[in-house]
Amino acid sequence: MSNSKKPPMNAKRPPIKKGVLKRVLGLLFKSYPVLLPISIACITISAVVSAIPAVFLQQVTSLIDNSLKAGLSWEIIGGEIITKISLLIVFYVLSLITITIDSQLMAYITQGFLCKMRRKMFDGMQKLPIKYFDTNKHGDIMSYYTNDIDTLRQLVSQSIPTLIRSSIIVATVLAVMLSYSLWLTLILLFGVFLMFLVTKKVGGGSAKYFGKLMKSVAVEEGYIQEMMNGQKVVKVFCHENKVNDEFNRINDELYENSFRAHANANMLGPILMNIGNVFYVIIAVIGGLFCLMGESFHNVSLSGMAFEVSIVVAFLSMTKQFTGNVNQVSQQINSIVMGLAGASRIFNLIDQKPEVDEGYVTLVNAEIDEQGNVMEVEHHTGKWAWRHPHSADGSVTYTELKGDVRLSEVDFAYEEGKPVLHDISVFAEPGQKVAFVGATGAGKTTITNLINRFYDIADGKVRYDGININKIKKADLRRSLGIVLQDTNLFTGTVMENIRYGKLDATDEECINAAKLSGAHDFISRLPNGYQTELANNGANLSQGQRQLIAIARAAVADPPVMILDEATSSIDTRTEAIVQKGMDKLMEGRTVFVIAHRLSTVMNSDVIMVLDHGRIIERGNHEKLISEKGTYYQLYTGAFELE
């Protein structure tokens, strides 16, 4: 049931794009040009302070060692030791203050950054063409806002600060070690080199699977959402076992990628920790040997210090700190790779090309005098006009919106090389009702998709009041069209709010009148709270017919000059259809109407009926004419053929 749309689980995954980390950091600095540097300064101070205890340890140890050799008492050296300890306490307090400030700033920066990213994603998503949503699973799109955003949060709030802090500590400790002993530092750096090789080998293996893991999570989320929406269908056709098998396959794929990613990553920490422990022992042994050699050992250091026990003691402390922070950086590989994979997917959504709109003709309120002159006005008059600026001479002309829609020799294909419509010509004069009938897949809905420019034609012309619709801004074009779709979408909110969706500035009275017109008023009045009844889960507490009536009322309140009714009464029973039809007849008065219907009873009174077959118009005319011709329409009407 879902396999046709689902990509194969073993398909090659897109790699993490280059420059993702640079782009994330660029957006962070752009969003918080003052707070982020302050946070980095706090991280730097706390990192540097964390390296100071080793220096104090060396100085105090050296002082005590030299005092013992010289036979000095506590009274002589005690004051200096207390001074150093007090200074160390001051540094610790400073570190505590900077860590507190940084934690608060990072919480504010991270959540603010994610808020801006979600807003950027959603804003960009509203500008995407319908084709994007037709070709991408909704669960996969939802994963951008949940799973991918969460990995980005970990990257910004945890991985990057840890990387900065550990890098500063490593650099600071390295500088101190070089000032004490070059030989011991070289031994430690050799150990770090081994840690780097292990990280590259093991970490690289986990990184390969983290990209697959992110995609597997999105596929599983999409499948679960699809099964939740189709649970009734699953149960009706007893597909529970088939659905379970498919879920187990997807879940096993997720397990495999997750296991391999985390198995490699979790193995890294213990290996690096033990490498650090081994070199801790090596430095202790070699440092002890250097001390036993005494003056015969020539120490090389940036400070020119002679080698002594205090250096070994400080070095052992710094070895733990150095290898520990190298290990800490390696432990962030999981979050860094996942964060970059999530950020790469997020940027992939943000970078999707928005719907192209090169139109410049706009829809304006208008007044028309007795001579037929069109004038633009600020207030709504019930009349509309197309405002057409001319770049050649800077003039502006106005064309009254009448609802004259004409398609001339139109060809169209959703995919190149697979044509859906062939040489379609439709002429709908103002106030006419044009009906399309034909089997599923004949191209009926596709024609209406071209009229409102959900898709652009491959060849031919579509004109609206004599204007090529490519010249009309899409928002203005769609504002002039009222559409009632076969699949009704109701939003969380009251019934009144759902009707007002058709015209956001509509008054309660206008919404109620629209409901009366569509025939929805009676059942709405019987709801627990009438028009203030809360709807949720796409109006699950209403029948399919009631939901469709609200959708029709929503289109009615918009009061457009052109209506597209795509199976608008398909979910309504015959008795309800009779009620709705009266309202629909009033709604269609004075408007150009395109009707798509399987029930021929709903199209009999159309001015023009067009019969489509495999993307071609094979018959056209009114009901009487087509019946007299005794062609396909006649056979459909008499039941000789079935539409399906």
Residue 218 and residue 118 share a domain: yes
CB 442 within 8 A of CB 615: yes
Nearest CA to 325 out of 215, 165, 483, 469 is that of 165
Cα atoms found within 13 Å of the Cα of residue 527, Cβ hemisphere only: 23
Q: What is the CATH number of the domain that holds 289?
A: 1.20.1560.10
Report residue 285 as tokens: 């042994």
Whether residue 1 is contained in a domain is answered as no
- The answer to whether residue 489 is domain-embedded is yes
Q: Give 532's contacts (C-beta < 8 A, 6+ positions apart).
A: 494, 495, 496
pLDDT at 438: 84
Claim to verify: residue 192 and residue 295 sit in the same structural domain? yes
Q: Which residues, at least 6 apart from 221, have a Cβ–Cβ distance to it below 8 Å? A: 139, 140, 142, 143, 146, 147
Identify whether 14 is part of a domain. Answer: no
**Are 226 and 174 contained in the same domain?**
yes
Assess whether 176 and 324 both reside in one domain.
yes
Question: Alpha-carbon distance 78 to 271, whole Å?
Answer: 43
Q: Is residue 6 in a domain?
A: no
Q: Give the pLDDT band of residue 5 (cuts 50, 70, 90).
A: very low
Contact in structure between 206 and 127 (CB atoms under 8 Å): no
Same domain? 390 vs 242: no
| E strands, 446-582, in order | 459-464, 467-468, 481-484, 493-494, 534-535, 562-566
Query: H or E segment at 1?
Result: none
Instruction: Indicate whether 224 and 244 sit together in one domain.
Output: yes
In the structure, what pLDDT confidence band is assigned to residue 30 with cuts at 50, 70 and 90?
A: very high
CA atoms of 433 and 411, how far apart (whole Å): 23
Question: H helices then E strands: how many in the chain?
Answer: 22, 16
- Cα–Cα distance measured from residue 458 to residue 537, given in angstroms and rounded to the nearest whole number: 38
Other Cβ atoms less than 10 A from the Cβ of 194: the count is 15
CA distances from residue 96 to 4, 49, 52, 161 in whole angstroms, order as listed? 57, 10, 14, 16
b/e burial code for range 510-537 (CB count within 10 A of at least 16 → b): bbbbbbbbbbbbebbeebeeebebebee
**In a domain? residue 5:** no
Instruction: Tell me the residue ranges of DSSP E strands in 138-290.
Output: none
For residues 260-265, average pLDDT: 72
Judgement on whether residues 155 and 234 belong to the same structural domain of the protein: yes
pLDDT band at 339 (very low <50, low <70, confident <90, very high): confident
Strand, helix or coil for residue 504: coil
pLDDT band at 9 (very low <50, low <70, confident <90, very high): very low
Residues 411 and 302 in one domain: no
610 within 8 A of 435, measured Cβ to Cβ: yes
Which candidate, 544, 554, 479, 545, places its Cα nearest to that of 513?
Answer: 554
Max avg pLDDT among 56-70, 118-132, 266-280, 483-497: 118-132
Radius of gyration of the chain (CA): 36
- 644 pLDDT band, cuts 50/70/90, is very low
The answer to whether position 644 is within a domain reads: no
Range of the domain at 369: 362-400
Q: How far apart are CA 184 and CA 286, in angstroms?
A: 8
Confidence of residue 569 (pLDDT cuts 50, 70, 90): low
Output the pLDDT for position 13.
Answer: 41
Same-domain pairing of 386 and 457: no
Instruction: Tell whether 469 is covered by a domain.
Output: yes
300 and 420 fall within a common domain: no
Which pLDDT does position 39 carry in this prediction?
Answer: 93
Same domain, 145 and 281: yes
- How many CA atoms lie less than 13 Å away from 492 in the CB half-sphere? 2
Taking the C-alpha atoms of residue 60 and residue 599, their distance in angstroms, rounded to an integer, is 95
- For residue 138, tell me if it sits in a domain: yes
Tell me the CB-side half-sphere exposure of residue 634, using CA atoms within 13 A.
8
DSSP conformation class of 472: B
**Pairing mode, strands 459-464 and 467-468:** antiparallel
pLDDT score for 69: 60
Question: Stretch 452-465: mean pLDDT, rounded?
Answer: 91
Measured between alpha carbons, how far is 288 from 433 in angstroms, rounded to an integer? 99
Q: Give me the residue label for tokens 């009222």.
A: 482
In angstroms, rounded to a whole number, what is the distance separating the alpha carbons of residues 244 and 545?
Answer: 32
Q: Is there a single domain that holds both residue 472 and residue 394?
A: no
Over residues 288-332, the pLDDT tens digits come to 888 778 666 677 776 667 777 777 887 888 888 888 888 787 777
Provide the pLDDT for residue 17.
Answer: 65
The mean pLDDT of 234-261, rounded to a whole number, is 80
Taking the C-alpha atoms of residue 414 and residue 395, their distance in angstroms, rounded to an integer, is 38
Q: Give the type of residue at 219.
A: V
CATH of the domain at 608: 3.40.50.300
How far apart (Å, rounded) are the C-alpha atoms in residues 358 and 473? 7
Q: What is the pTM of this model?
A: 0.74
Q: What residues does 459 pair with on adjacent strands?
A: 411
Domain count, the chain: 3
